[in-house]
Structure 1
Amino acid sequence: MESNILYYSTNTKIAFRINQDYYHGKHFVWCCPVFNPSAEHRHSKFADIPPSSNPHNIYCRLKEDIKGRDRDSSKIKANKRGLKAGAAFKLKEGVITESQYGEIVHMINKASFEEFTPYIYVIREDMVNARVNRVSVKKTANPLGVEYQIADLDKSEFEILDIQL
């Protein structure tokens, strides 16, 4: 794997709370070794990471949609779908009960715009190196892009930034 110092992931306040409160503080994240791939030199291996996987772009889009109270926000809708799919997976794994699954779905359905406030996770490579998985080309948003996942990120392994862009 390429040597990095940090990985970046943009998630939402509600995703953070669900992971902390229901999944024993373990977070599933997609992450990237640069915060803003679109600012990379065009020959960088990170320059081909598309906007849908770019932590900076995701952060800006969520901030913009929340500020504009966009009820048709594709980012918020996608986050809701992903959170529900994650809850279904955790139910199937036995991590949560049917009752907890119902609570999570209810929480997602009733969430205000502010619950989708974006959080930037800054993850130290040395704390997660053995558990970072490069995403298969078949599952990346761009086959030339470089994307990673961490299935069991603990809160002690990242810091949260809330920047103003």
Structure 2
Amino acid sequence: MNNKDIYYSCVTLIAYEISQWFYNEIHYVWCTPYFDPPSRLNPYNSVPPSSNPRALYWSLMKDVEALDLHSSRINTVRAGIQRGAASRLHQGMIGASQYREILKLIRLAQPANFKPLMLVIPGAPVTAMLNAVTVAQRASLFSEEYIIESLPRNLFDAIEL
């Protein structure tokens, strides 16, 4: 575990809105205590681009700005939101009609709906919620990554860069 006081996560506007509307402002986030891990200013951790909050943000923004209807990044996010909705249905957080509505929203969503947001999460209130990502799931063997399965909206800031 690190000694950092802030965690960062890149999410999309549509994922954020679905969490706000359908999941009672409870968010699922994959985060790291490093905003830009490969930066020369951060010699301690090397989170590759697939889990680097800054890299994810700008990669997604390029696809959104290009209105890329075949973006593999956007398609990956779509699939993740669908898996999340299925999980929330299984947990009883949403009902079948809400699940179908989320699937329809995702199917109809345009690239602009996938605009990235940066979540800035203060460490102290979430320490007990942090689940270390297993070695098999990490983007790199030695990267420091965490999942917060149920992050309340009042415990983070969402910003546009």
TM tier, smaller: over 0.9
Partner of 2:135: 137
Distance 1:42 1:14 in 2: 31
Partner of 1:98: 96
Corresponding position: 1:34 with 2:42 = no
The within-5 A match list for 1:1-165 is: 1-40=1-40, 43-44=43-44, 46-47=45-46, 49-163=47-161
Contact 2:69 2:110 (8 Å CA) reproduced? no
Structure 1 unaligned residues grouped into runs of 5+:
none
Could you tell me the TM-score, scaled by structure 2's length? 0.96
RMSD across aligned C-alpha pairs, in angstroms?
A: 1.2
User: In the alignment, residue 73 of structure 1 is paired with which amino acid?
Assistant: S
How far 1:57 sits from its partner (Å)?
A: 0.6
Determine helix, strand or coil for the equivalent of 2:136: helix
List structure 1 runs of 4+ shifted beyond 6 angstroms: none
How far 1:103 sits from its partner (Å)?
A: 0.2
Percent identical: 37
Contact 2:27 2:151 (8 Å CA) reproduced? yes
User: In the alignment, residue 153 of structure 2 is paired with which amino acid?
Assistant: K
Q: Which has the higher helix share?
A: 1
How far 1:33 sits from its partner (Å)?
A: 0.5
